[in-house]
Amino acid sequence: MLEIQRATVRLGTTVALRQVSAQVGRGGWLGVVGPNGAGKSTLARAVTGLVPYRGRIWVGGREYKPSEHRQRARAVAYVPQRPVLPPDMTVTDYVLLGRAAHHSYLGAETAADRRATAAVLERLELSRFARRALGQLSGGESQRAVLARALVQEAPVLVMDEPTTSLDLGHSQLVLELADELRRENGLSVLCTIHDLALAAQYSEALMVLYEGQAVLSGPPAAVLTEDNVRRFFAAEVEVLLGQGGPVISPVRPTARAERSSGGGPSDPLVRPA
C-alpha cells in the first residue's frame, strides 16, 4: 500500500533524510524509531507531501505530484507531532476539517461528512465532547481529537508522527490501541514514528531504525531491538526482556551494569545498610 524508494530530503544545507526505502503492506504497521534528529519526522512529512523530496513514494500504486494536495489527502491521513488546535473551535468542527478533501474547495460539509464525523467521535469515545472547545480538553482527549480528524479522512494509509508525545502511559496505550483496532478492522496501513521503544516493539509488525538520516536497521522488533543495537544507535543501556507481545525494553543505569560486570554488589554503594 505504501512504498518509499530512495527518499532524500534536504532542509537548507542539511541532508535530513538520505536514500531511505521502506514498504508497508495493506493492514501493516511499520514503526520508525531512532534518536533525536535522526530524520523520523522528516520521513513522515515526506510521505504526506509536506516537504519536497527526491526519490519516489507510491500510495496504492500511485505517485502524487506536489500540487495534488487534495488527492494525496484522500490517500494519506496524518497525525502531526505538534498539531495546531484552535482553542475556541469545537471538537466536531475540528474533526470535520478532515473531510475537506472529499468535497470541492467552496463546498460545505454534507450530511455524509457529518455522519462520518459522528461515527468516528463515537468510536474514539469523544461524542460527549463533541460541542466542547478544544482548549478545554485534556492532553489525552486532544490527542484523540487529532486522531479522529485523521481517521475521518477515510484514507487507506495513516501516518502518525510521535502520537504519544506528552501523553502518560495509559493515554499512550489508548491512542495506539485505537489505531491498531482500526488497522485490523479496516486494513489501514500505518507508518508510525515513535520515541518509546517499548511501545514501538509492542505495536509494530516491523521496525526501521533511522540514524543520521539513514535507514540502518529494519526487521521484526525482536531482531532490531537488541541490547547491542540500542546501545549503538541510541547511546542507551537497556535490558531486553521477552514479553507477551514482544520485546520489553527496560532502561538500566550504566553504573549498575558496570558494577555487575566488575563483581560489585550491595556493599559497594556509598550509602551502606545500617
Query: What distance in Å separates the CA atoms of residue 190 and residue 1, rounded to the nearest whole number?
Result: 10
User: Which three-class secondary structure state does DSSP give residue 247?
Assistant: strand
The one-character DSSP state at 100 is: G
Give φ, ψ of 197 to 5 degrees. Answer: -65, -35
**In the chain, where are the structural domains located?**
2-262
Query: What distance in Å separates the CA atoms of residue 196 and residue 249, rounded to the nearest whole number?
Result: 9
CA–CA–CA angle 53, 58, 62 (5° rounding): 120
CATH class given for the domain over 2-262: alpha beta
Sheet-wide strand order for 14-24: 14-24, 2-11, 54-59, 62-63
* Residue 1 and residue 44 in contact, taking contact as beta carbons nearer than 8 Å: no
Q: At 82, which amino acid appears?
A: R
> Under the phi-then-psi rule, with left for phi > 0, alpha for psi from -120 to 50, and beta for the rest, what region is 61?
left
- Residue 18 grid coordinates: 538520505
Give φ, ψ of 237 to 5 degrees. Answer: -95, 125
Give φ, ψ of 227 to 5 degrees. Answer: -60, -40
Query: Which distant-in-sequence residues (6+ apart) come within 8 Å of 11 by Cβ?
Result: 42, 51
Give the total residue count for the chain: 274
The tens place of each residue's pLDDT in the chain, 274 residues long, gives: 899 999 999 998 999 999 999 999 999 999 999 999 999 999 999 999 999 999 999 998 889 888 888 888 889 999 998 888 999 999 999 999 998 877 755 567 788 889 999 999 998 889 999 999 999 998 888 988 999 999 999 899 999 999 988 788 888 888 899 889 888 988 899 999 999 999 999 999 999 999 999 999 999 999 999 999 999 999 989 898 887 777 888 888 876 655 655 555 544 444 444 4
Given this model, what pLDDT does residue 107 score?
61
